[in-house]
Amino acid sequence: MKSEHNSTDFFRPRLQGWGLLTAAGAVAGAASVLGFFGPLHWLFDLCSHFRVQYFLGLGGVALLLLIPRQRKSAALFGALAAANLAVILPLYIGRPAAPNFTGPPLRALLANVESSNPHKDRVAAVLRQHNPDIIVLEEVNSAWLSALRPALVDYKYALTDPRDDNFGIALFSKFPFAHAQMLYIGDAEVPSILAEIETRQGTCTLLATHPLPPAGRDYTRLRNDQLAQVPRWVRRATSPLLLLGDLNVSPWCPSFRRLLREADLRDSAQGLGVCPTWPSFNLLLRIPLDHCLYSAGLAIVNRQTGPDVGSDHLPVIVDFVLAPEGRSAVH
């Protein structure tokens, strides 16, 4: 008896339509769960950074699966979406009260310019537009410093370490340094900067750092080690401290939460939400990797994400004041 089935049916994909949607939801759901186990493996750590994408994707899958009345699958994906939302929501609450202060606040700007970025004019334009008092640039090399020199004429105080390996770093200030030094925190042999800056409101400490990206087991270990050693330098500060850097970590990663806890630092994005900065060229995948953290004795007046400057990172701009109790040593 001859089969009436077309021979091509055998090769037809079994997962079509709603099945493909369910499979996509299963992959996103598994990744979101693995992200909670970041300390166990560097791949799990990578999964921890995309909470917003998991929430939106899983929530969308749950709603769509209600159309064919796949209620159990919809409920499962809805629960996973809710779990990710529960991780995200704390960033939107707990904004500190606006500080009482007189006079203009201080302004700091952080920009990972990306070494290979040809749009140096865009970075210069942002520096002129926002006119920060303190600038931290990361991934700078000698060509970057030369190109930006006209935009930096008002910054008489600087400490720079230009490098061609994507880990050059530079600090520019309109105010004098009481002390400034290059640091090598951890074993990655990438430079950080620690400086005491004598601002018009008093002395504050600036720590700028740029750990390795979590591209593999060894890099993840070195990144985590650098972040774990930062609190030791924070505790040495004798004035209120501002930490700026592309930390290559999102707020949902255990190493970031450990840094806040052990260094007793606050996140300037608290109460503002996610504030994504990387990758600048893909809004759907963008996550917050560039951070401004601060200690007691400082108050954040405003924080904003800067415009696209051609880098894969967006700048971060913060206005801050030294709180009255912070205009003397707080540690």
Q: Which of 235, 237, 256 is nearest to 246 (CA)?
A: 256
Residue in the block written with tokens 């931290």? 136
State the average pLDDT over residues 43-66. Answer: 96
Write down which residue in 68, 91, 114 finishes a domain. Answer: 91
The band of 85, judged by pLDDT with boundaries at 50, 70 and 90, is very high
Instruction: Find all residues with CB under 8 Å of 9, minimum gap 6, and list them.
Output: none
Count of the separate structural domains present in the chain: 2
- The CATH number of whichever domain residue 194 belongs to comes to 3.60.10.10
What is the pLDDT at residue 1?
Answer: 46
Percent of the chain exceeding pLDDT 90 equals: 87
pLDDT tens digits, residue range 255-290?
A: 999 999 999 999 999 999 999 999 999 999 999 999
265 domain residue, yes or no = yes
Q: Of 56, 91, 126, which marks where a domain is finished?
A: 91
What's the Cα-to-Cα distance from 276 to each of 36, 139, 282, 295, 304, rounded to whole Å? 20, 19, 11, 22, 11
By percentage, how much of the chain surpasses pLDDT 70?
Answer: 93
Residues 6+ apart with CB under 8 A from 108: 132, 133, 134, 135, 136, 206, 242, 244, 292, 317, 318, 320
Angstrom distances, CA of residue 111 to CA of 31, 120, 132, 139, 160: 30, 12, 12, 9, 14
Per-residue confidence (pLDDT) for residue 103, from 0 to 100: 77
The amino acid that residue 24 corresponds to is A
Q: What is residue 298's predicted lDDT score, i.e. its pLDDT?
A: 95
Tokens coding 70 = 């796949």
What is the pLDDT at residue 77? 96
Q: Which of 66, 91, 116 is the last residue of a domain?
A: 91
Indicate if the pLDDT at residue 117 is higher than 90: yes
pLDDT, one tens digit per residue, over 148-185 is 999 999 999 999 999 999 999 999 999 999 999 999 99
Average pLDDT over residues 232-261: 97
State whether 36 and 168 are in the same domain: no
Same domain flag for 19 and 133: no
Assess if residue 229 is contained within a domain: yes
- Same domain? 82 vs 222: no
Residues 243 and 109 in one domain: yes
Average pLDDT over the chain, rounded to whole?
Answer: 92
Strands 106-112 and 134-138: parallel
User: What pLDDT is stored for residue 95 in this prediction?
Assistant: 87
Q: Do residues 129 and 83 share a domain? A: no
CB atoms within 10 A of CB 150: 10
Residue 181, beta-bridge partner list: 194
Same domain, 126 and 87: no
Of 3-7, 164-168, 180-184, 192-196, minimum mean pLDDT range: 3-7
Q: With contact defined as beta carbons under 8 Å apart, do 290 and 278 qualify? A: yes
Instruction: Give per-residue pLDDT as tens, 197-231.
Output: 999 999 999 999 999 999 999 999 999 999 999 99
Dihedral (CA of 69, 72, 78, 80) sign: negative
pLDDT bucket at 324, cuts 50 / 70 / 90 = low
**Of the candidates 252, 305, 320, the residue with the CA atom closest to the CA atom of residue 46:** 252
Neighbouring C-beta atoms of residue 177, cutoff 10 Å: 16
Same domain for 124 and 30? no
Do 289 and 159 lie in a common domain? yes
- Whole-model pTM: value is 0.90
Whole-number pLDDT of residue 6: 53
Is position 2 within any domain?
Answer: no
Predicted local confidence at residue 325, as pLDDT: 55
Domain that holds residue 73: 7-91
**Does residue 100 surpass a pLDDT of 90?**
no
pLDDT digits (tens, 9 = 90+) for 27-42: 999 999 999 999 999 9
Residue 124 has pLDDT above 50, yes or no: yes
**What pLDDT band is residue 323 in, cutting at 50, 70 and 90?**
confident
